[in-house]
Amino acid sequence: MSSSTSVGDLVSQPYKYGFVTDIETDKIDKGLSEDVVRLISSKKGEPQFLLDFRLRAYQQWLRMEEPNWAAVGHPVIDYQEMIYYAAPRQQEKKASLDEVDPKLLETFDKLGIPLSEQKRLSNVAVDAVFDSVSIATTYREKLAEHGVIFCSISEAVKDHPELIERYLGTVVPSKDNFFAALNSAVFSDGSFVFIPKGVDCPMELSTYFRINSGDTGQFERTLIVAEEGASVSYLEGCTAPMFDTNQLHAAVVELVALDDASIKYSTVQNWYAGDENGVGGIYNFVTKRGHCRGDRSHISWTQVETGSAITWKYPSCVLQGAHSVGEFYSVALTNNRQQADTGTKMIHVGPHTRSTIVSKGISAGHSSNSYRGLVQIGPKARGARNYSQCDSMLIGDQAAANTYPYIRSQQPEASVEHEASTCRISADQLFYLQSRGIGFEEAVSMMVSGFCRDVFNQLPMEFAAEADKLLALKLEGSVG
Amino acid sequence: MIRPEADTLLEIVDLQARVEDKPILKGVNLTIKAGEIHAVMGRNGSGKSTLSKVLAGHPAYTVTGGSVRYRGADLLDLEPEQRARLGLFLGFQYPVEIPGVSNLEFLRVSTNARRMEKGEEELDTFAFEDLVRERLQVVQMDPAFLERSVNEGFSGGEKKRNEILQMALLDPLVAILDETDSGLDIDALRIVAGGVNHLASPDNATLLITHYQRLLDVITPDYVHVMAGGRILRTGGKELALELEDRGYDWVDQELAVLEVA
Instruction: Give the residue, A74 or A341, on which the prediction is more confident.
Output: A341
Instruction: Tell me if B157 is assigned to some domain.
Output: no
Closest-CA residue of chain B to A448? B100
Of B56, B59, B100, which has the smallest distance from its Cβ to A447's Cβ? B100
For B47-91, how does the pLDDT look when each residue is reduced to its tens digit (9 = 90+)? 999 999 999 999 999 999 999 999 989 999 999 999 999 999 999
Residues of B in contact with A1 (CB under 8 A): 57, 59, 79-80
Q: Which residue has the higher pLDDT, A471 or A306?
A: A306
A194-211 pLDDT per residue, tens: 999 999 998 888 888 777
Are A436 and B166 a contacting pair at CB < 8 A?
A: yes
DSSP A153: H
Contacts with A237 (C-beta within 8 Å, 6 or more apart), sequence order: A113, A206, A207, A208, A209, A267, A268, A269, A270
What mean pLDDT is predicted for residues A395-400?
84
Tell me what pLDDT residue A480 has. Answer: 47
**pLDDT tens track for A427-464:** 899 999 999 999 988 898 888 888 888 888 887 766 67
- pLDDT value of position A279: 76
Answer whether A456 touches B (CB < 8 Å).
no
Q: Do A436 and B99 touch (CB under 8 A)?
A: no
Which residue is closest to B87 within chain A, CA to CA? A437
What's the pLDDT at A111? 67
Choose between A397 and A146: higher pLDDT.
A146
Cβ contacts of A447 on chain B, cutoff 8 Å: 98, 100-101
Residue B101 at interface with chain A, using a CB cutoff of 8 Å: yes
What does the pLDDT average to over A52-81? 87
Residue A226 lies in a domain: yes
pLDDT in tens, B235-255: 999 999 888 888 888 888 788
- Using DSSP, state whether A117 is helix, strand or coil: coil
- Minimum distance, in Å, between the CA of residue B164 and any CA atom of chain A: 12
Smallest CA-to-CA distance from A361 within A386, A397, A326, A395 is with A395
Q: What is the pLDDT of residues B205-230, one digit of tens each?
A: 999 999 888 889 899 999 999 999 99
Check A429 against B84: CB less than 8 A apart: no
Q: Does B68 touch chain A if contact means CB atoms closer than 8 Å?
A: no
Q: Which structural domain, as residue segments, surrounds residue A74?
A: 6-475
Task: State the best of B83, B101, B162 to mutate against chain A, taking most chain A CBs within 10 Å.
Answer: B101
The 10s digit of each residue's pLDDT in B28-45 is 999 999 999 999 999 888
**Who has greater pLDDT, A244 or B200?**
B200
pLDDT in tens, A10-44: 444 566 666 777 766 777 888 889 999 999 999 88
3-state secondary structure of A187: coil
Whether the predicted pLDDT of A99 surpasses 50: yes
Q: Is residue B105 part of a domain?
A: no
CB contacts of B120 in chain A (<8 Å) are: none
State the pLDDT confidence band at A476, using cuts at 50, 70 and 90: low
Cross-chain Cβ contact B101/A431 below 8 Å: no
Determine the pLDDT at residue A11.
44
The pLDDT value recorded for residue A478 is: 61
Beta-strand ranges (E) seen in A171-243 are 191-195, 204-210, 221-226, 231-239
Is residue B225 in a domain?
Answer: yes
What distance in Å separates the CA atoms of residue A408 and residue A398, rounded to the nearest whole number? 33
Q: What is the mean pLDDT of residues B174-181?
A: 93
Q: How confident is the model at residue A182 (pLDDT cuts 50, 70, 90)?
A: very high
At residue B182, the pLDDT reads 83
Residues of A in contact with B56 (CB under 8 A): 431, 435
Contact between chains at B79 and A433 (C-beta distance less than 8 A): no
In a domain, residue A344? The reply is yes
pLDDT band, very low/low/confident/very high, at A97 (cuts 50, 70, 90): low
Q: If 0-12 CB within 10 Å is exposed, 13-18 middle and 19+ buried, where does residue B117 land?
A: middle
Q: What is the pLDDT of residue A9?
A: 44
Bridge partners of A391, per DSSP, are A360, A421
Q: pLDDT band for A138, please (50, 70, 90 cuts).
A: confident
Distance from CA of A359 to the nearest CA of B (A): 15
Query: Domain count of chain A?
Result: 1
Q: Does A446 reach chain B within 8 Å, measured CB to CB?
A: yes
The distance of A62 to chain B (nearest Cα, Å) reads 48
What is the DSSP-derived secondary structure letter of residue A60? H
Mutant choice from B109, B116, B117, B159 vs A, greatest count of A C-beta within 10 A: B109
| A395 pLDDT tier (thresholds 50, 70, 90) | confident
What's the CATH code of the domain at B64? 3.40.50.300
- Average pLDDT over every residue of A325-353: 91
In a domain, B123, yes or no: no
The per-residue pLDDT of chain A, averaged, comes to: 84
Set of chain A residues whose Cβ sits within 8 Å of the Cβ of B152:
none
The residue that leads in pLDDT, B88 or A98, is: B88
Q: Indicate whether B45 belongs to any domain.
A: yes
Interface test with A, best of B19, B75, B81 (most A CBs within 10 A): B81
Q: Which of B57, B60, B84 sits opposite A436 (nearest CB)?
A: B84
Name the residue of chain A whose CA is nearest to B54's CA: A1
Query: CB under 8 Å to A441, separation ≥6 — which residues?
Result: A10, A472, A475, A476
Domain presence at residue A480:
no
d(CA A232, CA A103): 31
- Residues of chain A contacting B83 with CB distance shorter than 8 Å: 435
Number of domains in chain B: 1
Q: Is residue B256 included in any domain, yes or no?
A: yes
Question: CB-CB: which of B58, B102, B113 is closest to A431?
Answer: B58
Q: What is the pLDDT of residue A79?
A: 86
User: Which DSSP string do the residues of A235-294 spell out, in sequence order?
Assistant: EEEEE----SSEEEE--EEEEEE-TT-EEEEEEEE------TT--SEEEEEEEEEEEE-S
Nearest Cα residue to A41 out of A187, A206, A209: A187
Does a structural domain hold residue B158?
A: no
Report the number of secondary-structure helices (H) and strands (E) in chain B. 9, 12
Asked whether residue B24 is assigned to any structural domain, the reply reads yes
**Residue A12 Cα, gap to closest chain B Cα (Å):** 21
Residue contact B98–A427, C-beta within 8 A: no
pLDDT of residue A13: 53
Judged by CB atoms closer than 8 Å, whether chains meet at A437 and B81 is answered as yes
Sign of CA dihedral B116, B120, B124, B127: negative
Chain A closest-CA separation from residue B246 CA (Å): 36
Residue B127, phi then psi, degrees to nearest 5:
-60, -35
Range of the domain at B182: 8-95+173-261
